[in-house]
Structure 1
Amino acid sequence: MDVGIILDLETEVGKVMHISILLALADYHANTSRGSIRIVPHIRDSKKDDVEAASAAIYLLKDVQVQAIFGPQMSTQTDFVIDLGNRVKVPIISPATSPLLTVKENPFFIRGALPSSSQTKAIAAIVKNYNWREVVVIYEESPYGTGILPYLTDALLEINTLVSYRSGISPSANDDQILRELYKLKTMQTRVFIVHLQENLASRLFLKAKEAGMMNSGYAWIITDVLTSLLDLVDTSVIESSMQGVLGVKSYVPRSNELDMFTKRWRKRFRQEYPDMDQVELNVFGLWAYDSITLLAEAVEKVGTTGIPKLKKPDTRENLTDLDALRTSEVGSLLIDSMQNTELKPGLSGDFRIIDRELQPYPYQIVNIIGKGEKVVGFWTEKDGISHKLKMNGKTAKTNNKQLGIIIWPGESTIVPRGWEIPTSGKKLRVGSS
């Protein structure tokens, strides 16, 4: 069976998922209890471009006649590809994180990653833990950045905390523009900042925040899950000089012997495929890609495609457009039915559960950036809230110690920031009597 893969192979995350997918298919074919149906991947590079992604999808569906597509990874690219999948009844398994992409409205869309909205209650729980009543949200002015805003605002309102200001940063903003925006934020009272930026823009923001004197004691910074999960892509010098004391949230991946062995294989394969590139570490997006492809392979094995017509021919009228010429899959509905409520237990990423075509939430780790990396200071689950430690007992996550561990805040302070200050704009307030 032919499967399409659309990734941004110019990005580190795209390369990480690429290697994971190759290994997932190799493991499937090496398993002697399976393998009756060979899965052939057809990999296309979307080159960070929406049009390239759309063109790749049309090519895969029209010329290769794939029965499923994994990707794309960017939400703006995924939107159109999902529409194509609905049109020709071909499953689209995407790692895109935008909550604006909904499975309810798209019957052939399976989300193979957590939407950014799933972390908002974990972030709100951190804010509530320290009784901060106002926060500033710094977000990327892009579909990636804006999708989280209504969900984050609602989660904070539930704990009686207001978003006092939303600071949008354009991906094309230069350093001077970023610095001017930070100085504007510095004149406000709020000293708690939630940062929802991708790693390159975030690196520049924190360098300028350090320059503006906003990484000193009294400030609190929280970064969202994508940045926390991809912290190894941020230059170590930036982390050490400008991100000390930052808190972050990310999906919790339990350690296992299988994961350790896979990581070694993954690193070796990465060096083979990308010998001229600095080694990049395996991350949760690579693990989700592996588990998604494994789940697809199991669905293929269950359905079986031997003797089943692959694609139904379109109308034979002349002068058809590329879209009109797309054939309808007669296997896609069977694959969706097989995949929409299923589980890998365990997957490499943990219990990889798809319910109603949506990846189910994981516990969140809460980390404190110290030195060159991070220190785990706690966990959050929807059932039990914040805890210092997380004990897994079968399907049930049992938490204890309803506080976070010791946190080193910006400025190497152990004193919890109160969350606000009366700005003085550099002038001292003089009080006197006549």
Structure 2
Amino acid sequence: MKLFTRYNIILLLISIFGLALIGYLFYKTQTFYLDKQIDHDMVEEVMEVKEYAEKNIFYEPHEFEDLIVQYKSISNLQKHPVIIYGDTVLYNPVKHQTERARYLRTELSLIGKPYQVMVIASKVEREEQIKSICLIILLPVILLVGVLLLVNRIMIRNLWKPFEKLIENITAFNLSQEKPFEPVDTSISEFRTLNDAVVSLSKKIRTDYQEIKLFTENASHEMMTPLAVINSKLDMMLQSSDLGSEGGETLAELYRATSRLTKLNQSLLLLVKIDNSLLKDQEQLDIKELIEDKISYFQELIQKRGLQLKTNLEEASIFSSHQLMDILINNLFSNVIRHNYERGNIEISLTSHKLSFKNTGHNKALDPEKIFERFYKDNASEGTGLGLSILKQICLKQNFNLEYHYETDLHVFTITF
């Protein structure tokens, strides 16, 4: 949830709660004063009852008044009669309905006899007046709050536009591109400070990245030359007839070590290029054709080890980097051949959205959580431990899904396009 959306929701909830509370308190206050007014009117009615009693007449309200006066004869008056107020209900004979009412009960001496007098006054008309007053006052307030919320939402959206633009530019910023980070022009001091900090940070990151990239490329390039010289010299020495058996074995070990170091250097350099998106030759590729070309390329090695190759290839075309796909398929073939045993099996299947390589092997199921980590390999492997990491990085860059599982003595690598 966005920040200003959450802010607006909180503000809206507070406004609704505040309006409800104010409306409730206002209604209760008006009701309280209504009861006071009705009580005052009923006291005046009692005064009229007394005035009529002096004329030996019992007072009766007019029919159009929502008022009832009831007389009840009692044996004697209290020493200090009190006036009691309360709420009750009243049957209105004119409207033929029961209404909420207020009553006053007291004791009086009328025409020489003690009576309990109860005055009952309807509250309907005055409650309707209160509701009208509440609506007249609260409706404009609700409208005003609604307008304020709308204006507040529009203002916040406009105020946060520089921040959203800044986030958009940060997301679009790419170290591998020469395009610098685009600053955002804003009059808000906090956003301007944030913008300056991001611009400064992006420049430092780009500088550090360029230095690391240059160092990696130069180091890899400089390492390749002495490694090539060492390999060449070792190769010449291995072919020399002057070497003894012990010296030959030592040189052979040195030759294998330098060859492994060369492969490791090439693999690390390739990972750097993949991580930094330096291979961008995007085009429409025929995956079936690429696999068939690789089958021809590895055919001699497959036959030499007596491997049984089964294929089920359908037409499949994707938009991807030709170099990356060539490396990916090449590594898959190298993996299923290198980690297989003599006269083992290889199965390759291809559909329009999935590529699967299966192979037998000396080892049982590998750890699917660690298999794609860099330098992870079993003890018997003579590889660099980077082949599957390269596969993983290529799939991440191309938005493919790479999975490994073990089924019926087969190691299965599945790529979903």
User: Per the shorter chain, which TM-score range?
Assistant: under 0.3
Q: What TM-score results when the alignment is normalised by the length of structure 2? A: 0.20
Q: What TM-score results when the alignment is normalised by the length of structure 1? A: 0.20
Greater relative contact order (Cα 8 A, min sep 6): structure 1 or 2?
1
**Higher percent of residues as helix:** 2
User: Which structure: larger Rg?
Assistant: 2
